Chains A and B, each alone.
Chain A
Amino acid sequence: MSQNFAFLDEHSKKEIRRKTLKAIVIPGYQVPFASRELPIARGWGTGGLQLTLSLVGQEDVLKVIDQGSDESVNAVNIRNLIQSTTGVEETIHSGEATLIQSRHRIPEVPLKPFQILVLQVPQPEPLRVVEASERKTKMLHGDKEYSGAFIKLFEQIMKYGHITDDADYPVMVNDRYVMAPSPIPRFDNPKMNHNDGLILLGAGREKKIHAVPPYTKVESLAFEDYPFEVEQFDDKVCRESGLTGVYMDELQDEETGETYYMTNDTSYMLEKMNEGAVNNAKQ
């Protein structure tokens, strides 16, 4: 039995591409689509995977990331599946890839005009916390009634003195739709604003596709006296590479118990180390 190119049958891919086009012309709007069965369970990146499979062509160069890493189990398996059903070239270098599927990070290297970034989305509805009914949230989006998204942030300020949403921080897209940007860290939110590449977001379990087309205004929600802020790593230095000003993981040395920081986007770190642009802090 032969397997169709990119696993899905052509009709499925066509349907997903049509829904993707609709998502692109209405930035930030969640377009429902017929989420297919895949060899991985829903909620494990099937939305992103379906977008990638529907878009990938023989010429594409593929990169798959999971929380900044090209080598974690999730990334490796998704990449293997796509590679074995398409035979496309794969890379770890953000700059070389034409198609990047990512779980919860936007790479440190800014997207280029020819690139498509596919994000895996667990919960595409930013108003779900305050409104359980899909029918009602649709009406709220229709009326541009987003007080629900704001009261969630307001409640955090009341309880903890500051906004505690560290990932999946809601954004206003093109001054119209409030969108859940998938659980990327707040640090990555500003990268979406007027960026050069196309960002597609797929939620397989929730059966929704949304998109941020190139050069679209993306604004993180905030209050006048509690402005949006990204995570600060100003005084932190990556222990492996000596990089600063990038998104870092806080880790603990198992032997000494000492807390240290390491660049989260590992391929970016490798590139920088190979260039010799940064000092290797270990030496």
Chain B
Amino acid sequence: MPNNDEVVLSLRDFSKKFGSGCDYCQNPDAELQKNMCPECHTVYAVRNASLDLYKGEILGIVGESGSGKSTLMKTLYFDQEATGGEYILHEDDTVDGNVFNVSSQKKRQIRNEQLGMVYQNPIQGLKMDFSSVTNIAEKLIASGNRNVGQMTKRADHFLEKVNIALSRKYEAPKNFSGGMQQRVQIAKALSNYPPILLLDEVTTGLDLSVQADVLELIKEIQRDMGVSMIVVSHDLAIIRMLCDRTMVMLDGRVIEHGITDQILEDPQHKYTQQLVYSIL
């Protein structure tokens, strides 16, 4: 549960569109065909999404594929540019106001020092041909560390934490199983103790026992290190197990949000009801 009421990250009216937009679809309440404007055919991957992330909590985002979950995550990690909206990191004193507007150099710095990201596909988060230690050190080097001894020590610490035998630390992730790659990614994301961790479908494609390991690890990290996390998943069981609060997205919009149990027990929106009752 959240330690207190302190907000670490907030997003206001965030939008990501592909196309120029027109007078009709500029209106936030305009009806779209799914997420495409009927007039100008602009596609809204995310439309006017807002969220707050509290210190030490895990916020879940659920929704069907194409609902804008991953776009939201990628924009939070600056892999993609936002079209509009405001993104505030409350604990970072080096930026004032909207971090969407800072220079790309500053964005990289925020990304290297304040955020950790675990992608659904480890190829995006790791350099498959470099050893696991080097992959973890990459994040540390990017945030300014130039001491090999310190960095290998830190890498060892986190590899142990994610249960990867140190005898394999010089091996490249391409030789690892999917679950191991995912754990190396988590170790890398955590390596410089970021206050915010973004997890995009981390357990998708892993077998059940490995899934359980990874989920347990995430819980443990939240408990021991007080990291705030945003977890994207389409698996409601995972959301139920991990998340304090949950947001439901559909066609690029946030259609429902609240305490996880409440959303799963008493869904209000038609889509959420369908989603909850479609569990086999």
Contact = CB atoms under 8 A, between A and B. Distances in A.
Interface of A: 130, 139, 142-145, 147, 150-151, 154-155, 157-159, 222-226
B133 interface: yes
Contacts of A151: 127, 130, 134, 137-138, 141
A225 B108 contact: no
A224 B134 contact: no
Given A155-B131, A223-B147, A147 B170 contact: no
A141 B268 CA distance: 50
A224 B146 contact: yes
A7 to B, nearest CB: 42
B131 A159 contact: yes
B164 to A, nearest CB: 15
Nearest to A148: B138
Interface string B135-177: 0011001100011110110000000000000000010000000
Nearest to B143: A147
A10 to B, nearest CB: 40
Given A139-B104, A158-B133, A158-B170, A225 B149 contact: yes
A223 B104 contact: no
3 A-B pairs with the lowest CB-CB distances in the bound complex, closest first: A147-B142, A147-B141, A155-B134
Contacts of A155: 130-131, 134
A157 B105 contact: no
Contacts of B142: 145, 147
A214 to B, nearest CB: 28
Nearest to A139: B104
Contacts of B141: 147, 150-151, 154
Interface string B111-143: 000000000000000010011011001100110
By secondary structure, the B interface counts as helix
A150 B148 CA distance: 11
A29 B12 CA distance: 39
A147 B105 CA distance: 13
A54 B137 CA distance: 44
Interface in B248-277: none
B147 A225 contact: yes
A137 to B, nearest CB: 14
Nearest to A142: B104
B58 to A, nearest CB: 29
Contacts of A223: 146-148
A145 B108 contact: yes
Contacts, number: 49
Contact of A159 (B108, B146, B151, B170): B170
A158 B147 contact: no
Contact of B131 (A139, A147, A150, A158): A158
Q: Which of A155, A224, A226 has the most CB of B within 10 A?
A: A155
22 contacts: A130-B127, A139-B104, A143-B104, A143-B108, A145-B108, A147-B141, A151-B134, A151-B137, A151-B138, A151-B141, A154-B137, A154-B148, A154-B151, A155-B130, A155-B131, A155-B134, A158-B170, A159-B131, A159-B170, A223-B146, A223-B147, A223-B148
A151 B137 CA distance: 7
A100 B152 CA distance: 44
B134 A226 contact: no
A130 B133 CA distance: 16
Contacts of A157: 148
A226 B104 contact: no
Contacts of A222: 146
Interface string B89-113: 0000000000000001100100000
B148 A147 contact: no
B134 A143 contact: no
A35 B183 CA distance: 46
A139 B103 CA distance: 12
Contacts of A139: 104
Nearest to A143: B105
B155 to A, nearest CB: 9
A272 B151 CA distance: 47
Nearest to B135: A151
Contacts of B127: 130, 151
A142 B106 CA distance: 12
Contacts of B131: 155, 158-159
Nearest to B103: A143
A155 B138 CA distance: 10
A256 to B, nearest CB: 40
A154 B152 CA distance: 10
A158 B134 contact: yes
Contacts of A147: 138, 141-142
A157 B149 CA distance: 11
A226 B105 contact: no
Nearest to B131: A158
B38 to A, nearest CB: 34
A225 B137 CA distance: 15
Contacts of A143: 104-105, 108
A209 B200 CA distance: 42
